[in-house]
Structure 1
């Protein structure tokens, strides 16, 4: 990440922030703050949990990180490029879909429905390829009825 990036975002380039970015780049997915605490402390044991929490909040406010709510938990990822999130409802896999891959859907919604969809940050639920080919377990009669 270039040195000019930090002042543009209104942030100073600090050691803890660089460790958090490095960890997120390495895991290449979204992580909860407790998960980031564990991962950053495994790289830099002197970083305190409160430092991680404070820096994640500051980096999110500045647009360096973004959050996505999943299964009752807030996960954080890098905001380097515009993207959407695909979440498998069966296995929980979460991955990023570059915004440009979703552009045809956005164009269709705008042209046919007059709906102006936000260009990034959509959360799309479904089943991943692996889970889609596995049959769903049979539903017991009365299961789920309340």
Structure 2
């Protein structure tokens, strides 16, 4: 999505189009990963678009409250991603790496989990699955 698209998304949620919000949305949209506040600050700095850590944190909290981003807890810092199509997350228990997993890949498993335990996905239709990523399972 380009800057005009990000502006439209922010305005659609009744939010002002601040430089910080536009930078963070652009960063998360372009990233193939969910990012922590620290990772976001580092990448913004590398791109010559530095923001103070507190600004990035507050921006992500605002965007998450508006439903434009979502927060994924895990070991270590919370990581944030763009909210789009409903998806589940896998979280590495050792390094905290977060990966998105399309809901259709787990639909039968989610139905079975509900049947066995009564556990249902959250309001976004998401489950968190914890384990170890390829790098940490060695």
- Normalised TM-score (structure 2): 0.75
Q: 2:89 touches 2:128 (CA, 8 Å); kept in 1? A: yes
Q: Which has the larger radius of gyration?
A: 1
Query: 1:45-95 deviations in whole A, cap 9, x for unaligned?
Result: 453333222211111111111111121321111112211111234665421
Q: Which runs of at least 4 in structure 1 moved beyond 6 Å after TM superposition?
A: none
Q: Distance in 1 between matches of 2:105 and 2:22?
A: 30
Structure 2 unaligned regions, length at least 5? none
CA RMSD of aligned residues (A): 2.7
Tell me the residue number matched to 1:141.
Answer: none
Q: 1:41 touches 1:47 (CA, 8 Å); kept in 2? A: yes
- Normalised TM-score (structure 1): 0.71
Query: 1:21-40 deviations in whole A, cap 9, x for unaligned?
Result: 22122331111112212222
Judge which range, 45-54 or 23-32, deviates more: 45-54
State the number of aligned residues. 132
Tell me the residue number matched to 2:120.
Answer: 117
Tell me the residue number matched to 2:82.
Answer: 78
